[in-house]
């Protein structure tokens, strides 16, 4: 009986001590802290770090995925409206930077919100943000927690 109580007490103490240092893992699901977003071509500073403390809408897209490209255009226009209470960060995952640059001009996108991931960074982004089954947009709160995936205009207007 004493061994059982001692084992339970030690286990409880270890659980208490380790949980004090536990932070929520990064994950691309609602309620979790967003995964990191490292873009090798952005002078080492993540576009998410640039907007720490603000609501951020992160959109992932490619030129070959028509729906993701249309979504990016839509979110880009919404973010430029007066009174938008979030910042739009658009991440292109095309393998060609020249294709990306041409589409930014062709689609009349806000250049300051558009980023392209290098081929080396793309695998980590796709894995970390779970984009292997399709491209999505993630709405993050000021603490970097995901509060919506593929939000609609009504969700964005409530911020």
CA distance 110 to 112: 6
As to burial, measured by CB atoms within 10 angstroms (0-12 exposed, 13-18 middle, 19+ buried), residue 99 is middle
Calpha distance 99→115 (Å, rounded): 13
Q: Does residue 82 register a pLDDT over 90? A: no
Report yes or no on whether pTM surpasses 0.85.
no
- Out of 40-49, 97-106, 140-149, which region has the weakest mean confidence (pLDDT)? 40-49
Specify the length of the chain in residues: 159
In CATH, the number for domain 25-157 is 3.40.30.10
pLDDT at 46: 72
What is the average pLDDT across 45-63? Answer: 88
**How many beta carbons lie within 10 A of that of residue 52, not counting itself?**
11
Domain extents in the chain = 25-157
* pLDDT band at residue 91 under the 50/70/90 scheme: very high
What is the model's pLDDT at position 135?
Answer: 96
């Amino acid at each position: 009986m004493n061994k059982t109580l001692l084992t339970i007490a030690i286990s409880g103490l270890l659980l208490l001590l380790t949980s004090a240092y536990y932070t929520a893992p990064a994950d691309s699901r609602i309620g979790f802290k967003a995964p990191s977003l490292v873009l090798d071509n952005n002078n080492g500073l993540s576009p998410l770090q640039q907007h720490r403390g603000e609501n951020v809408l992160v959109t992932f897209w490619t030129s070959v995925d028509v729906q993701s490209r249309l979504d990016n255009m839509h979110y880009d226009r919404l973010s430029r409206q007066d009174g938008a209470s979030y910042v739009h960060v658009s991440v292109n995952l095309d393998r060609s930077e020249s294709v990306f640059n041409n589409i930014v001009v062709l689609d009349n996108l806000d250049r300051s919100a558009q980023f392209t991931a290098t081929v080396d960074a793309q695998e980590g982004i796709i894995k970390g943000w779970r984009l292997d089954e399709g491209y999505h947009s993630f709405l993050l709160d000021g603490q970097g927690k995901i509060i919506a995936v593929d939000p609609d205009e009504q969700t964005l207007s409530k911020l």
